[in-house]
Every structure is written in C-alpha cells, then in structure tokens.
Structure 1
C-alpha cells in the first residue's frame, strides 16, 4: 500500500512539474509592445543560451582591444519652445506676443533664471489670407484677401539644474505655450572628458599587455597595428517608444451596455547605451539622462617573419697577444676582475 502511494505521489509530482514548465512561457513578463524592440524577455520560461556573441577561435595573431565609456552629467541645458500668435493687424499681433513673452520672463526670473539666459528667436511674421468667393452673373471668382497676421517665435531658455525644467514648463504653460521643440545638453570642457578616457584606456591596455606577457608571449616578436575611435551621444538620440498590450477604459465602468474602444497610448522612455561590452565605465549608475562619451582602441599584433625578428648579438671576448723575446706570438684570453 505504501509503495502504491509513493508511486502515485511521484507521478503527480512529475505531471505538476511538466504542467508548470509547459505554462511558464505563457506568463508575460512585460506589458509593452515596442515599435523598436522588446526590451525584456517575453516570458519567464525562455532561457538565454547565447551568452557569448561569437565562439572563441585560436589565432596566431594577438588582438587587444579596450572600450571605455563615460556617462557625463550635462553642465547646462537649453529648452526650446515654439510660440504662434495671430492678430488682425501687425501691431496687435506683435503686442500680444510681447505681452506673453514678458510674462514668461517675469515668472522664470522669479525661479532663479537670469534674463540673459532667455533668448527670443523670430521664425516668421507673415500675413494670413482667406479666400473670398465673388459671384457674378456668368462666373465666380476666388480672391485671397488679408485677414490678419501670424507671428511665430522660438523662446530659448538656458538652465543648469534638472529640477528647474519643471518650473520652466509650468511658466510656459501658464502663458499658453505648450509646444516643447527640444532640450539640448552641453558639456563645458569636453577636452577634459576625453583626456580622462585616454588615461583610463591606457591603464586597461597596460594591464592586458602584462596579462599576455605573464602567459609567456613576447610582444616584441610581433608587429603592432592600431585603430581607434571616439564618439559622443546625447539623450535625445536614445528615446524609445512603446504601446501597452492591454488598454483600459474608465468610461466602461459607468456604462452597463455597449462597446467602448480604449485608446492605445504611446509612451516614451530613455534607453542609454548598455555598458556590458565595455572594459571601463565611469559614472555607471545613471539617474537622469546623460551625455555618453566613449572611446575605443584596438591593437593587433602580427607575428614577425624570421628576417624581421631582431638578431642576437655575438659577444666577442677580449683577446690579448703576447710576443716573446724570440718573436713567438701567443694568443690568450685574460680574465679581468671587475
């Protein structure tokens, strides 16, 4: 009886395990459908097998490469907003725009932004036309007549702290300015950033060279070749978008009948460069969008031909010639004490 119960429990455990493994891939790990790519694995059951991107293949040549990345927090930012103002006359249009801009400046200065950091860029100032239909006895004429003016400007606001951006948005929204064009990021001393990266790359390169020497490779018997590059990426280049798999409608709660279609909202998020392939990463913990500055260097050592390898120097010991009174010459080597 005990043996039968034991076999029954083993069979039930096996079936339960198979059921769990069979259902695991259907458990969704994310609720997004990206238009660019899926950031996370789709299910818990999918095993990641390709840890290495390429298999290791022994080679007669030696390749040493170093990749360094620096996540630099910007020293200054510039937000650009677009404004459009219309009016019946050019004077009225210009006065209305000036009034809005002055209100924005007053509110921004109250939040600690200097007047010199607010710049107005005039884009266009053109008359607006409407088509008027003129009916005649045997024909119709469509004439364009001026009905007003349209003034378009961009307002550039420079700030140095990220938390100031929320106050800038609020000041613009209070004056009916909603069109945020872009936000630019700036580094005051980019040369110092590259200098730091070169020093870090040199340290990592020397460590790798020493590693090969410790394994018995004489790099002086190889002819070196070099290639290097550098790059700088800004946050606006790394914003991705996605749409949720499931959408909800709050109006469906209030109605007992009928079908309501929920709008699929497109969301955006910041996806910086992953540092999994880098040897050196400065400021790896990213809290806010940063400027990513990178440098890469690759050294390839090609084994020299025998004719190119340095020849061993032949050491010739000093010889002394002794001439006797009879004229005989004796060649001998004298050991001199050092």
Structure 2
C-alpha cells in the first residue's frame, strides 16, 4: 500500500447533502495546494445528530465524493457503524465500491471505536478488521461524540494502556485526538516506539494554544487553508524564532476566525463556502455573526 502518514494539515471536508451543490473543481483548486490530506466524515455535518455511525446513504455518497478529490492526497474515510458487525459490513461494502478507484491506494479507514465498543478487546477487533481489508486504519478519540451512546460511568476515552497495544499493530497508522493536553501527552508516551505513528489534534483551538501533535484535522481548512498552512510552516520553535511577528499575526487571525465560527461551525462553514462562491446556497446566519465572519474572511485575503 502507498505510504499514507498522518502528518501536517488535514481538512475535515465539508459534505453538502447534494454533492452537485458544490463547485468541486474550484474548491479543490483553492484548498488542495495547502492541505496534506482529507477526512471524509458525513455524520459530522448532520445538524440533526452530530453522531458517529454511517447511514446507508453515506455508503452511496462516499464513492461519489472521493473521485472529486485529487488522487495524490491520502483520504481517511469514516467506517464506524452502530456496532461491530455493522462496522465490518461498512468496510466490506466500501472496499467493494472503491477498489477500482484511482484513489484506492491512498485510502485509510477512520473509526471511532468507543462509540460501539469498550476499551476491552479493541486490539482483537482491529486484528479482525485487518482480515476484511488491507487498508490501514486511523482511530479517533472523541469523547464529545461518543458520550451520547454510552451509559453513565462508561469510558468515553481510549485508555492509555489500550492505545499502547493498538499502536503495536502496524496496520493502525495514527490517532486523531479530542480532549485535554494531559491526555494527548500520555498518548504520545504510549506510541513512542512507533515513530511513524501519527498523533493528530482533532480540535483547532487547543492546537493553536499548544501544537504538540504531528498535525491537525481542521474544519476551517475548508475556508482558509492558506492561513492554516502558513501557521503549520511556522509552528516549529526555530521557524517561530525566525519570524515571531508573522507567526503571531497568523495565530491572531485564526483565533478571530474561530471566535466567529463558534459555537456552530457546522452552520458557519457552509455559509463561508457560499460567500466564497464554492457552495450554491447555504442557510443565513444572524447579521452580527455574518458581519464578524465576513471581516475575518476579508482579513484572510478572501
């Protein structure tokens, strides 16, 4: 399989209900030069639920969407189902639908296992999944999206000891983390024997405050990929020392954008894409939020 390392800036791709509502050539031309990979996660963009598991319609949308992306980028594709059996079935069906696609060698399967499974037995689960597919896997630890599916008192985070066992599986290429800095640092210690293992931040604001991971999965990279790329190029200590003023200016611009996007980026991202001419239509925003977001986009060069 083509080497697909989890590093740099990955865009959690906005997915409209109607794929034809998006100017994909224009969007890709604007975003692709600045990102290192894509995350395809249809449930993330559903306002009604913000859950994790795929629906039947997603299994039809994903094969239609992937060919619209450049074939030189790795793509992490959501496979999570409501339980172990459905997740296995999702992998099987997506394998069949995509195995002849030019992107197939660069696909990774994205799973949030704690949505349907406990910490106990997870290493065995991925040994079973590895029999179904020869693709590598990316895991996501997202307690906010997992919590609604769990009974009170059940773990919503991957245990560090389990992460260590999972990292021993060469077919698991990385982890996207949401949550505290303390936890991500313990995860980093757990995977230290895997220098090729990607530990990505799944949240933008914590990454800005402490860029401790190998990269970022960004929502707003749909809108300002160039600005995020500028930050990524300056995030090392040596690069920051050479251009402290430039680094702080980029960070300030991104923080203002995140403030304008909050608390509902699922609504503000499509509005911004519509303003930029990539999405045919989007629901309106309150006037004050629209004005703030417009100022941020103009400051970013849009």
For CA contacts below 8 A with separation 6 or more, give which structure has more relative contact order. 1
TM-score (norm 2): 0.20
Name which one, 1 or 2, has greater alpha-carbon Rg: 1
